[in-house]
Chains A and B, each alone.
Chain A
Amino acid sequence: MSEAATTLRAPPGALTEGSPYGIPSRKLAMWLFIIADAATFGAILFAYGYLRLANPDWSKPFAFTPTIVNGMVMTVVLLTSSLTMVAGLAAAQSGRTAAGVRWLGVTMLLGLAFAALHLREWFAMIAEGWRLFRNPMGGSPLFGATFFGITGLHLLHVVCGVIVIGVIALGFRRGRFGAGHVEATALYWHFVDLVWMFVFPLVYLMNVR
């Protein structure tokens, strides 16, 4: 029998090579996306550092209250959402659908709380006169551009994450998605959390009055 005939008669998947990483392709794709996105955030944080260093009149507008306290609460909220996501994944992997959906719902609520706190802070700054290219303190106008740019990109990731978790939770409840989908979503959500672990110290704590 020719090689081509053997291939055609083989059961599906019998002649395919296993993944060298031992993980499903969707999980590998998510890891590759995370690495690319990490390089993106790395680049904008490096650019922020460059501008900060090259501008001696950089503004330091953040007081302990309300900004740093608000930032700490936001950090705890985001870290807690990672824990609830882990609980959701554990429930999904052990076949407890209702518990998995419940934990995903809690994660979404925490994500929304983070976004609400963030937007409240933004609106307070805008009310003080901060804009993308306007600095009410008289220092470098680049502060607004970098602050709103970096935190805005992160906030966009959070909002997208909340929407994706909602879609996956609905699909998981209806049986359209499995635990693998929840796992890939969890990877993304933890990554969004990790990015904040760099944004908070570099953009907030380094700009304390």
Chain B
Amino acid sequence: MKLYAVVWIGLILIVGLEVLLTYEHLPAGALLACLLGLALIEAALGVMYFMHLRYERRTLFWSLIPYLLFALVMMDHFWPDALRLMRQRLHGP
């Protein structure tokens, strides 16, 4: 249980860091990158330790995680359209 308590403390510290960064007046893109990076670290800690994927056979990891990542990366294709809409927006007088 000691290891899990350490992971729990680490996750809470990461949440604190996220809130701290939010009020550091970073540019929106940099803040988003930082928050996403920290969220991914939290997810990795949770999956590997709390969900015990670290202690399972490697075949389970390689059968699940790459496919999820692939599906998520495939969803990246519509960002150019969102940026186009943002730039094309007509501004009021």
A contacts, CB < 8 Å to B: 20-23, 28, 31-32, 35, 38-39, 42-43, 46, 49-50, 53-54, 56, 64, 68, 72, 75-76, 79-80, 82-83, 85-87, 90, 186-187, 190-191, 193-194, 197-198, 200-202, 205-206, 208
Contacting pair B82 A53 (CB below 8 A): yes
Give the contacting residue for B43; candidates A49, A76, A194, A202; CB below 8 A.
A194
Q: CA A79 – CA B46 in complex, angstroms?
A: 10
- A interface majority secondary structure: helix
Contacting pair B86 A206 (CB below 8 A): no
Contacting pair A90 B46 (CB below 8 A): no
B contacts, CB < 8 Å to A: 1, 4-5, 8, 11-12, 15-16, 18-19, 22-23, 28, 31-32, 35-36, 38-39, 42-43, 46-47, 50-51, 56-57, 59-60, 63-64, 67-68, 71-72, 75-76, 78-79, 81-83, 85-86, 89
- CB-CB under 8 A for A201 and B23, given A21-B59, A194-B43: no
A120 smallest CB distance to B (angstroms):
20
Contacting pair B22 A76 (CB below 8 A): no
Contacting pair B36 A201 (CB below 8 A): yes
| Least CB separation from A30: chain B residue | B51
Residues of A within 8 A of B59 (CB): 20-21
Give the contacting residue for A82; candidates B1, B50, B82; CB below 8 A.
B50
Q: CA A190 – CA B4 in complex, angstroms?
A: 13
Residues of A within 8 A of B85 (CB): 53-54
Residues of A within 8 A of B5 (CB): 83
Q: CA A86 – CA B48 in complex, angstroms?
A: 13
| Least CB separation from A57: chain B residue | B89
